[in-house]
Amino acid sequence: MGNSKSGALSKEILEELQLNTKFTEEELCTWYQSFLKECPSGRISKTQFETIYSKFFPDADPKAYAQHVFRSFDANNDGTLDFKEYMIALHMTSSGKTNQKLEWAFSLYDVDGNGTINKQEVLEIITAIFKMITGEDQKHLPDDENTPDRRTNKIWDYFGKKDADRLTEGEFIQGIMNNKEILRLIQFEPQKVKDKRK
């Protein structure tokens, strides 16, 4: 496998990404060229990420959620995503294994990065998610989950936690595996709201 097609993409990073994602060498090289066009420095800033993310949600305010997503993928906490972090993020959110997605979801909800989730952190992420749900769609949500507070309470109750309790990563993943309703509540899936209205 030659390195000629990959341009500036190092062989080590290419091999690591092929091992850890579903992408082929050709796809990775194409993504890399596109990434360099958007981010000539080879790094994407939080602001650039928010701009790209907002294109997927033109009728909503995804800024707060995008900031949390960015934080969860900035593995070395340097305030930028390099190509490797970006591709792992893309893989994990689009086609990663269930366990990988749940590990990522845990890191998303672990706002302060201390290895546990408290109810306030759940509320912070749910509030960011609600900024992406149109007012019209919010009207169609069940009464016990139609505000960030109500949805947070419902999630916390499903985990069987008191207000001051904390969730470990194992409890978080196991709770979701045991109750798919929690998975629905912690995600932003506008299509599911629309499907319920039909």
Interior CA angle at 139 toward 133 and 141, to 5°? 75
Averaged pLDDT of the chain = 86
Say how far apart CA 61 and CA 127 lie, in whole Å. Answer: 11
- Three-state secondary structure call for residue 142: coil
pLDDT digits (tens, 9 = 90+) for 3-45: 334 446 889 999 999 988 888 999 999 989 988 988 889 899 9
Nearest to 130 by CA among 108, 117, 145: 145
- Give the model's pLDDT for residue 8: 65
pLDDT digits (tens, 9 = 90+) for 137-147: 888 999 999 99
State how far the alpha carbon of 114 is from the alpha carbons of 47, 107, 168, in Å.
25, 10, 10
- Give the model's pLDDT for residue 189: 64
Say how far apart CA 9 and CA 84 lie, in whole Å. Answer: 10
Q: Which of 21-30, 143-152, 172-181, 184-193 has the lowest mean pLDDT?
A: 184-193
Is the pLDDT assigned to residue 60 strictly greater than 90? Answer: no
Is the pLDDT assigned to residue 96 strictly greater than 50? Answer: yes
Q: How confident is the model at residue 135 (pLDDT cuts 50, 70, 90)?
A: confident
- Give the model's pLDDT for residue 89: 81
174 or 195, which is more confident? Answer: 174
Give strand ranges (E) for the chain.
Answer: 43-45, 80-82, 116-118, 166-168
Q: How many residues does the chain have?
A: 198
69 or 58, which is more confident? Answer: 69
Give strand ranges (E) for 138-185.
Answer: 166-168
Say how far apart CA 186 and CA 56 lie, in whole Å. Answer: 19
94 or 73, which is more confident? Answer: 73
Q: What is the mean pLDDT of residues 162-171?
A: 96
Nearest to 159 by CA among 178, 146, 137, 175: 175
How would you class 146 by CB atoms within 10 Å of its CB: exposed for 0-12, middle for 13-18, buried for 19 or more?
middle
